[in-house]
Amino acid sequence: MTLRRAALAVALVAFVAAASGTGVRGSHGAQTTGDEPHYLLTAHSLAEDGDLDIRDDLRAQAYRPWHEVGLDPQEKLLPDGRMVSPHDPLLPALLAAPLALGGWVAAKLVLAALAAALAALLLVVAVRRFGLPVRPSALVVGVFAASAPFAVYGTQVYPELPAALAVVAAVGGFAAPVAVIALPWLSVKYAIVAAALALLTLRRRWYLLGVYAAAAVVFVIAHKAWYGGWTPYAAGDHFIGGELTVVGHEADYVGRARRLLGLLVDRTFGLAVWQPAWLLVVPALAWLAARRERRWLIVVVPLVLGWLVATFVALTMHGWWWPGRQLVVVLPLAVLAIAAWAASSRSRLLAVAALGGVGVLTHAWFVVEAYWGELTWAVDFYETESPWVRGLRLVLPDFWQVNAATWPLAALWALLLGAAAAYAYTGTRRAWGRSDTRAPSGTISVDGRWE
C-alpha cells in the first residue's frame, strides 16, 4: 500500500466516524450545548456583521437553529457596550462561512473534514518525518481516528480538533510557524504547548524568535481591544474574580494531581474506558525513553506538557463535555508514540488492533444509541449500554464521585501501568545492548513488510 492510498483511506475512515455523529444532540433540550452555541453565535456575528459583538445576535435569538432552548449568556456587557463571547476567535472565523452557507450542519461537517485532514497528516508525519512503516502506521492511526475522542470532537464545536491538526502540522514541519501562532488564537489554553513547539521547531532559524515575539504582541493588543483583558476570559460574566480565575479560586494543586492517572483511567472521564488502546501510551513512552532518540523530543515534550496542563491548569476534567477534551490537542502525539512502539513487533501491533477495535465498536455503538434518542454527547453519555464500557467501568476508579473502591483501584492501575512502563523500558535497553546498531528482530521495513 502506498502512502498516498493509505492517507486517503485513514482520512475517509476519520470523516465517516466523525460525520456519523453530526446529528447526535448535545443535550436533550438542544442540538449543541456548553460552549458550542457561543462559538456558533460568534461565527454568525462574523458572517453577518463582520465583528465579534453578539448583542444583536442574542437579541434576535439567532442561536435557535442549533440551541432550541433559551441561551444562558456567558458574556458580560463591556464598558463600550459590546458583548463578546469569552472564547478566542479563530474557530468562529473558520466556521463563519460554512455556517452562513449551510447552517450548523455545514459547520460540523467542516470539523469532520478537519478530522479527516488530521488523520491523513498524522500518517504522513509518521512515515515521512519519523520513518515508520506505512501499513502498521495506517492501522494505528485508523483505529484512533475512528474512535473517541477524535471521532467525537470531529463534530463537536470546540477548538480541540483544529488545535490537534495545528500541533501535527508543527511537528511535521508543515508551515510550522503558522501552526504554532494559530494555537493560542484557537484557545489561549494552548499557549504552553505552542511555546514548547516554537522552541522545538526553531532548527537554528533564530529569526523565528522575533516572529513569535511579534505574534505575542499582536495577540495581547488584539485581546485588550476586543475582550478588555489579556485573554478572552476577561469578557466572561462568570469570572467575577478576574480572568485568571479561569484556573480556579485557590486551586488545590495537590488534589488535582490525581488527574495524572484519572485522565487515562477514570471510569467516566478517562480515555481508556472509551478507547482501551490509549493505555498503550504508557509502554510506548517508556520504550521511546529507553531508545533515547533526540528526534522524538518534539513528540514527547509537548505531549507531557499538554498532559500537565490538563492536570494542573484546567479547572476540571469532569465537565459538560465528552471525556478527554483537555487532552485532544496533544493526543496525536500519543498516537505517533504508539505507532512507533507497535511497528517494532507483531504482537504489539495485534494489541493495538485488538484494543483499538473495541474502541471503534464502542464509538459506533454509542452513535447508534444516541440516534435512538437515548443518549447525548454531554449529559448522559456514560449511561451507554455498551457491554465493553459497562464491563470496563467495573474495574476502573471513580474520581468523579469518590467512593470506597476509588483509591484501591487507582493504586492497582498505577501499579499495573508502572509495571508496563518498567517492562517496556528495561526490555528495550536490554535489546539495544545486545543488538548494538542492528534493528531488533521482528521489526517492519519502511514498505510495510515484516522482516
pLDDT digits (tens, 9 = 90+) for 146-167: 999 999 999 999 999 999 999 9
E strands present in 276-389: none
DSSP classification of residue 65 = T
% of the chain residues with pLDDT over 90: 86
Q: Average of pLDDT values for 294-301? A: 95
**Cell 453578539 -> residue:** 54
Q: Is the pLDDT of residue 255 over 60?
A: yes
- Partners of 334 in the β-ladder: none
Q: Categorize the per-residue pLDDT at 433 as very low, low, confident or very high, splitting at 50, 70 and 90.
A: low
CB 449 within 8 A of CB 138: no
- Cα–Cα distance measured from residue 336 to residue 432, given in angstroms and rounded to the nearest whole number: 21
Instruction: Show me where the domains of the chain are located.
Output: 3-435
CB 328 within 8 A of CB 150: yes
Q: Average of pLDDT values for 284-309? A: 96
Q: Categorize the per-residue pLDDT at 81 as very low, low, confident or very high, splitting at 50, 70 and 90.
A: very high
Q: What is the pLDDT of residue 23?
A: 95
CB 165 within 8 A of CB 31: no
Q: Is the pLDDT of residue 11 over 90?
A: yes
Beta-carbon contacts of 271 under 8 Å, excluding residues fewer than 6 positions away, are: 148, 149, 263, 264, 278, 323, 324, 327, 331
- Cα–Cα distance measured from residue 447 to residue 43, given in angstroms and rounded to the nearest whole number: 44
Q: What is the pLDDT of residue 444?
A: 34
Give me Rg for the CA atoms of the chain.
22
CB 300 within 8 A of CB 288: yes
Q: Is the pLDDT of residue 245 over 90?
A: no
Q: Average of pLDDT values for 322-335? A: 97
- Cα–Cα distance measured from residue 18 to residue 12, given in angstroms and rounded to the nearest whole number: 10
Q: Categorize the per-residue pLDDT at 442 as very low, low, confident or very high, splitting at 50, 70 and 90.
A: very low
CB 159 within 8 A of CB 90: yes
Q: What is the pLDDT of residue 237?
A: 83
- Cα–Cα distance measured from residue 91 to residue 234, given in angstroms and rounded to the nearest whole number: 18
Exposure class string for 415-444: b at 16+ Cβ within 10 A, else e? eebeebbeebbeebeebeeeeeeeeeeeeb
CB 192 within 8 A of CB 200: no
Look up residue 284 and give its three cell numbers: 510506548
Q: Average of pLDDT values for 303-313? A: 97
- Cα–Cα distance measured from residue 8 to residue 299, given in angstroms and rounded to the nearest whole number: 24
Omega cis (within 30) before 332: no
CB 406 within 8 A of CB 398: yes
Q: What is the pLDDT of residue 246?
A: 80
- Residue 48 CB neighbours (<10 A): 15
Q: Average of pLDDT values for 10-18? A: 98
Share the mean pLDDT of the chain. Answer: 93
- Cα–Cα distance measured from residue 157 to residue 440, given in angstroms and rounded to the nearest whole number: 44
Q: What is the pLDDT of residue 368?
A: 97
Q: Is the pLDDT of residue 451 over 90?
A: no
Q: Is the pLDDT of residue 191 over 80?
A: yes
Look up residue 276 and give its three cell numbers: 482501551
Residue by residue, DSSP assigns 272-294 as TTT-GGGGGHHHHHHHHHHHT-G
Tell me which of 80-94, 106-120, 228-242, 344-358 is least confident. Answer: 228-242
- Cα–Cα distance measured from residue 352 to residue 278, given in angstroms and rounded to the nearest whole number: 9
**Cell 463591556 -> residue:** 78
- Cα–Cα distance measured from residue 411 to residue 391, given in angstroms and rounded to the nearest whole number: 19
Q: What is the pLDDT of residue 448?
A: 33
